[in-house]
Structure 1
Amino acid sequence: MSEGSIAGLDLHLPLSGTRPARSLEDAIRSLVSTGALPVGARLPAARALAADLGVARNTVADVYARLAAEGWLEARVGAGTWVAAFPAAASQAGTRPAAAPPFELRGGLVDASDFAFSAWSALARQTLAELPGTAFSYPPTAGVVALRQSLATYLARTRGVAVGPDNVVVGTGFGDLLSLVCRALRGRGARRIAVEEYGHERHRRIIAATGLEAVALPVDADGAVIEQLEGADAAAVVLTPAHQFPTGVPLSAARRRAVVDWARRTDALVLEDDYDGEFRYDRRSIGALQALAPDQVVYLGTASKALAPAVGLAWAVVPPAWRAEVLSQREAGGAAAAGIHQHVLARFIDAFAYDRAVRRRRAEFRTRRELLEGLLAERVPSASLHGLAAGLQCLVRLPADVREEAVVDAAARRGVAVQGLAEFRLGDGVAPAGIVVGYGAPSPARAERGLELFVEALEAAVEGR
């Protein structure tokens, strides 16, 4: 057997010494069928490939001709030989992701196609042109200084966070920073952390992976029941105080004061997940809990909702007493956020492009929520919409005799993906029947139709159709 390496395009082509043409044909067909040679790739000229492999030029030319006749390749006069868009190759590749539901209405998701492409790309070009060479080295463990300064100013202005640049730690996402803080807690001997009974299963898996046990706090109309922290033996609690995920209720003022008092008395830590605090529609957003107790609260935010998950940046405002341990966990785990992205986001914030992106999405999401509210009132008045007029999702409470599974199934038959409230609950208890409807993910052109189809599915489930 011999192998060739082709100048300009590296390919692994095992050839048989006795049957070079057949083995070359099989090798190219295999690369195309698995997607290793993608549609539109240009193959080396027959003469160049023959010289590299040590075979006759006619051998390569005949193989190209046979594969072109079968539809694997495309010979373009004067332009060489290319991989063709061959249906069989695509079906055999097995690497294409499963098709997404036509209408994605699960909670907590955003329309990534609505990203501020023009502003981001312009600022990215400007940033790359103006950054000094030192900026392309490894970023500081806590994050690029420029971004930490920009975030400190922005968070103080928009969310009332008590913060200076030295308090900010930049990460790759909420889960990344949650893991850092939980590992720091575990390093101090913590065993248990309280969480709201409804929330992201992924976040609970992250907590478990750090060695902490998650204990559930009930959630009612005033948010998490803080009184139950007294007997929970927890060293910390994770809350979504501005807009509980996914029920949508805010933590009441009395319970905000109560959790701060508990944290101070027990020297515990509060992890404030402000995942959509910027998206309040009925009045000015509720300020950050962190401002009540900067020494006891870790404030956590992310760019994924205002911009897009692919930006890959999040931030934690860490009390001074915890900063060294959180940074130690970052150094131990690696995977710091990309420095160039941090510089671009800093410019994006300083240019108020981040504010504009939030305002644009706030207006769009408000319209979608109002549309859903109107459709429910008109077509399924026995169901009710709950939670603040805020965020990227809402909770639709179902009539007593309607099961969540029936609504989810009816929606799926119409090409709509939603989730029942029970999917978000920690533990095996009985949750009130409800559907979490996310209105952030569909594109503007498809949002209205997706919400109409969901209400149609809900109406069918209520009527037993």
Structure 2
Amino acid sequence: MSGSNFLSLDPTEAASRGRTTWLAARLRSAIVEGELQVGSRLPATRALADELAVARGTVVEAYRRLTEEGLLVSNRGGGTTVARVPAVPAGVTATGAADAATPRMLDISAGVPDVSAFPRAAWLRVERRVLAHATEHDLGYSDPQGVLPFRRALAGWLARSRGIAVPPERIIITAGVTGALSTVSNVLRARGITECAVEDPGADGNRRILEFWLDRLHPIPVDADGLDVSALAATGVRVVLVTPAHHFPSGVVLSPTRRRELIAWAERTGGLVIEDDYDSEYRYDRAPVRAMHATAPEQILHISSLSKVLAPALRIGWMIAPEALHEQLVRTRWATDLGSPVLPQLVLAELIESGALERHLRVLRTRHRQRRDAAVEAVRRYLPGCEVGGIAAGLHLVVTLPAHIDETRLVARAREAGIAVQGMSSHRLTPGASGLVIGYGPHPTQRLADAIRVLGALAGFSSGGSA
């Protein structure tokens, strides 16, 4: 049976045509998790290939990809060694231990995927092809709505993954969800609409963007079935922002009854539902939840981005608007900055069409599920008796704190100890139950456990888990 003592590599874990990708991912993970330290020497390509019973070219290509990423370095006569540790959050080493020489903050706030897994090698290969074949037209000013090849690829992907069947002509590329909300807010204000309803609790980042552009936000309660549509109707507001597939931060799904009520509200009042589909790609313990847009495309403006799929730094998102708003949104997009950068859109088009993006997502889902499980286990051990919610999907979980624990004080003490964590109050406009929002996406399992152990101690629980 083939296999290697080095990192206990088992080639049977890899798909028959995906061994290079599997090996590169396994080595990358070993560097991130601290199994391979900076300066560690990797086996010779021929020796590792023999142990794994794979072609030497498979190992050579895996090493090459990580060398391009800057993670490995090939030393003439000295073999291949680890050059650096990627994306280690501030304040900790790759193994999760505090770095006493450079004390910085370990951020377990919500909303970030494992950006260390960004498909750098695949991106570089596609980018080279795009540049090699780019025409003068490609390198000139582009359609402010977004380049057509990307919108075509995105239309197919949204149909497969979210049940949204729209032609490319209805998709508007934006600078992430923030860019979409800013553009929509400007169009609403131009139409005399200066107020918006939001979920309470709800994403603080979205709320701050809307507060910048609009005059007033109306908090609408969220319960186990999602947004309270009756409370929405009582406000008289004509626009509402919702996260129906996975409410942030509680994780609840807008129930079928509430979905029907929300669409009926929009049809009855001429209202607009802004659907933020922010992390629908990550689900672990439940069936897929379809986007609302398909059920009422003229009442729902759908927005999403690739921030949770690849990396927030890309600043690539999209919106699909009711026909009555489409042209004004495109004109506003043009007047803002002439549209999104062309080259990343062309690269993304090929990554989607080739299936590379979906393969990347499969890797991330597995990794994030493992980290989710580790975070839940750590909460149950170090914060016993605290309810854990929002775990069926997404990149974060919610820990409800007992009434005697002061959330604000706990968050402040955690920051003093070098851990940045969000309290539920930061996502509320009105008072409510206290809790913590813990993002597990970018952190190795041991690092998560260590951080949650510290939170438990600061909250007054013993290291063994009892109060």
- Same-fold call, TM cutoff 0.5: yes
| Matches for 1:160-179 after TM superposition, within 5 Å | 160-179=163-182
Asked if the contact 1:193/1:238 (under 8 Å) is kept, the reply is yes
In the alignment, what sits opposite 2:387? 384
Cα 1:430–1:155 change in 2 (3 A) is: same
Asked if the contact 1:406/1:461 (under 8 Å) is kept, the reply is no
Asked if the contact 1:192/1:233 (under 8 Å) is kept, the reply is no
1:296 aligned onto 2:299? yes
| Matches for 1:119-158 after TM superposition, within 5 Å | 119-158=122-161
Q: Choose from 249, 252, 255 the match for 1:249.
A: 252
Between structure 1 and structure 2, the one with the greater Rg is 1
In the alignment, what sits opposite 1:455? 453
| Matches for 1:198-213 after TM superposition, within 5 Å | 198-213=201-216
Asked if the contact 1:182/1:212 (under 8 Å) is kept, the reply is no
1:342 aligned onto 2:340? no
Q: Distance in 2 between matches of 1:244 and 1:407?
A: 24
Q: Distance in 2 between matches of 1:135 and 1:203?
A: 33
Asked if the contact 2:414/2:458 (under 8 Å) is kept, the reply is no
Q: Distance in 1 between matches of 2:437 and 2:251?
A: 10
Asked if the contact 2:196/2:214 (under 8 Å) is kept, the reply is no
Structure 2 counterpart SS, 1:347: helix
Q: Which amino acid aligns with 2:307?
A: S
Q: Distance in 2 between matches of 1:151 and 1:262?
A: 30
Q: Distance in 1 between matches of 2:348 and 2:330?
A: 21
In the alignment, what sits opposite 1:437? 438
Q: Distance in 2 between matches of 1:430 and 1:177?
A: 29
Q: Distance in 1 between matches of 2:179 and 2:207?
A: 13
Asked if the contact 1:365/1:440 (under 8 Å) is kept, the reply is yes
In the alignment, what sits opposite 1:276? 279
1:108 aligned onto 2:111? yes
Asked if the contact 1:263/1:270 (under 8 Å) is kept, the reply is yes
Q: Distance in 1 between matches of 2:426 and 2:264?
A: 32
Q: Which amino acid aligns with 1:114?
A: A
Q: Which amino acid aligns with 2:452?
A: F
Asked if the contact 1:239/1:271 (under 8 Å) is kept, the reply is yes
Structure 1 counterpart SS, 2:214: coil
1:323-357 Cα offsets, whole Å, 9 max, x none, are 11111211222252101111111111111111112
1:131-153 Cα offsets, whole Å, 9 max, x none, are 22211111101100011111110
Report the CA distance between 1:245 and its aligned residue: 1.1
1:67-119 Cα offsets, whole Å, 9 max, x none, are xxxxxxxxxxxxxxxxxxxxxxxxxxxxxxxx884422001123332211011
Structure 1 counterpart SS, 2:459: helix
Q: Distance in 2 between matches of 1:406 and 1:208?
A: 27
Report the CA distance between 1:414 and its aligned residue: 4.0
Q: Which amino acid aligns with 1:419?
A: Q
Report the CA distance between 1:388 and its aligned residue: 4.2
Report the CA distance between 1:455 and its aligned residue: 3.1
1:36-86 Cα offsets, whole Å, 9 max, x none, are xxxxxxxxxxxxxxxxxxxxxxxxxxxxxxxxxxxxxxxxxxxxxxxxxxx
Q: Distance in 2 between matches of 1:182 and 1:251?
A: 24
Q: Distance in 2 between matches of 1:409 and 1:288?
A: 37
Asked if the contact 2:274/2:300 (under 8 Å) is kept, the reply is yes
Report the CA distance between 1:232 and its aligned residue: 1.4
Q: Choose from 305, 310, 314 the match for 2:308.
A: 305
Q: Distance in 2 between matches of 1:199 and 1:335?
A: 31
In the alignment, what sits opposite 2:92? none
Structure 2 counterpart SS, 1:218: strand
Computed over aligned residues only, the root mean square deviation of the Cα atoms, in angstroms, reads 1.9
Q: Distance in 2 between matches of 1:205 and 1:457?
A: 27
State the TM-score, normalized to the length of structure 1. 0.74
Cα 1:139–1:434 change in 2 (3 A) is: same
Cα 1:420–1:211 change in 2 (3 A) is: closer
**Fraction of identical pairs, as percent:** 36
Structure 1 residues without counterparts, runs of 5 or longer: 1-98
Higher mean C-alpha deviation, range 352-361 or range 153-162: 352-361
Q: Which amino acid aligns with 2:279?
A: D
Asked if the contact 2:146/2:172 (under 8 Å) is kept, the reply is yes
| Matches for 1:27-42 after TM superposition, within 5 Å | none
Q: Distance in 2 between matches of 1:187 and 1:430?
A: 33
In the alignment, what sits opposite 1:227? 230
State the TM-score, normalized to the length of structure 2. 0.74
Q: Distance in 2 between matches of 1:449 and 1:201?
A: 25
Q: Distance in 2 between matches of 1:387 and 1:462?
A: 24
Report the CA distance between 1:454 and its aligned residue: 1.6
